[in-house]
Amino acid sequence: MPVPVPELGSYNFVSETKEDLPWADLITLDFSLYGTPEGNKQLAQTLIKAVREDGFFYVKNFNISQERVNRQFAIGKQLYEIPLEEKLKYVPSGLDEGAFNGYVPSGRRMQVYLHGVILDPVSGLRDRVEVYNIPKFNGDFKHAHPELVQKHLPEIEEFARSLHTEVLDPLHTILAIALGLPEDYLKNIHKYDVKSEDHLRYMKYSKFTPEENEKLNGLWGRGHTDLGSFTLLFRQPVAALQIRNHTTGEWSWVKPQDGTLTVNTCDALSFLTGGYVKSTVHRVAVPPKDQQHVDRLGLLYFSRPNNDVPLATIKESPVLREQGFTSNEFEKSGNPVPTMETWTFAKQKWQRTKNVARGDKKFENAQILPGWNEKVYA
């Protein structure tokens, strides 16, 4: 049953761009088919095509109302309107305002970070990204938030949990079917009540002036992959997200679609499937000219396997065996296979490197763990 919710101002989305951009032609999964053997089989066939070819896809009819989504955007908008002094109370001690980049791990004093990657070494322009992460509500994490968030915490918890029951559990079930595994195989290593570094995120990209955008070579954020299983991105109309085609290496724009989630596959799923499921490279471009005058607010959820899960290739999958996907980079190189917790904190340590300038090859090719080095993406 929905929890009582406090009054909250409405959230108005900006108009979509009128520019004719090279949009990616992405697959849509219709969850109205989910729940029957025939529907699940159809969805499994669609999903495996999506994660093998693009790694990005849309989900519709996932049983979370647009009103609930809009309220989360409204919370995010109000959160970023609180004074900087208040925000800095929630930056972990030892990390400098505007000079670090990375997710705040569990056990730290909460949840805000302000990016500080140097986008243009000549002018010294840094990125203008703010992030607020809210971890699981399963008892493993402390929840000490600004008053605005604290007031809406029951609603936020209900929303975060519903993303598991209505979106992630079905995705894990469908993917397990596609891999020839028991339907609950992937759900069992992504249990909500078991510790993992999942989090809901409110994310703000503050705008640059036209003159500043000219210095950024068309990019607000470099190409990268996400470290978990699936990332869920709720529709917001400021065009900026671009994905790189696995085959051609070409970049295309992801179009905001009404009533959908945009989903991408991430590193952990790639490790678990020996590269059969590809971790998708994506980046944030400078928005089209008719949207450069507004800030870009994002609402995301990052799903990750439970912390104690070893990221070894799943041996039980007949599909992976038949297709020859039987080992990942750690296994091929003879290095220890990390647990999800080890992988998460190693990559986050790299992400939090201070005062990084775009194009720093030492940083961009750094070893995350023995057997895995980061790669340079445009």
CA 111 to chain centre: 16
Q: pLDDT-derived band of residue 126, with 50, 70 and 90 as boundaries?
A: confident
* 96 domain-assigned: yes
In sequence order, the 6+-apart residues with CB closer than 8 A to the CB of 159 are: 64, 68, 72, 200
* 21 domain-assigned: no
Instruction: Tell which residue, 166, 176, 192, 173, has the closest CA to residue 305.
Output: 192
Pairing of strands 118-120, 296-302: unpaired
Question: CA angle, corner 37, sides to 36 and 40, nearest 5?
Answer: 80
Check residues 11 and 70 and name the one with the higher pLDDT: 70
Query: What residues make up the domain containing 211?
Result: 28-373
Burial class (CB in 10 A: 0-12, 13-18, 19+), 30: middle
CA 164 to chain centre: 14
Lowest mean pLDDT among 62-71, 89-98, 207-216, 251-260: 89-98
* Number of domains comprising the chain: 1
Q: What is the CATH number of the domain that holds 235?
A: 2.60.120.330
149-173, pLDDT tens digit by residue?
A: 999 999 999 999 999 999 999 999 9
18-34, pLDDT tens digit by residue?
A: 999 999 999 999 999 99
Lowest mean pLDDT among 40-44, 78-82, 261-265, 287-291: 78-82
* 106 domain-assigned: yes
Half-sphere exposure of 293 (CA within 13 A, CB side): 6
* 117 domain-assigned: yes
Residues 44 and 177: beta-carbon distance below 8 Å: yes
Torsion of CA 320, 375, 282, 192, to 10 degrees: 60
% of the chain beyond a pLDDT of 70: 90
* 192 domain-assigned: yes
Give the per-residue pLDDT at 135: 94
* 276 domain-assigned: yes
Average pLDDT over residues 231-249: 93
Question: CA angle, corner 179, sides to 304 and 312, nearest 5?
Answer: 50
Q: How far apart are CA 304 and CA 230, in angstroms?
A: 7
* 7 domain-assigned: no
For the cut 90, the answer to whether the pLDDT of residue 109 exceeds it is no
% of the chain beyond a pLDDT of 90: 74
* 189 domain-assigned: yes
Instruction: Tell which residue, 51, 27, 92, 344, has the closest CA to residue 176.
Output: 51
Check residues 215 and 360 and name the one with the higher pLDDT: 215
Q: How far apart are CA 167 and CA 261, in angstroms?
A: 9
Residues 75 and 8: beta-carbon distance below 8 Å: yes
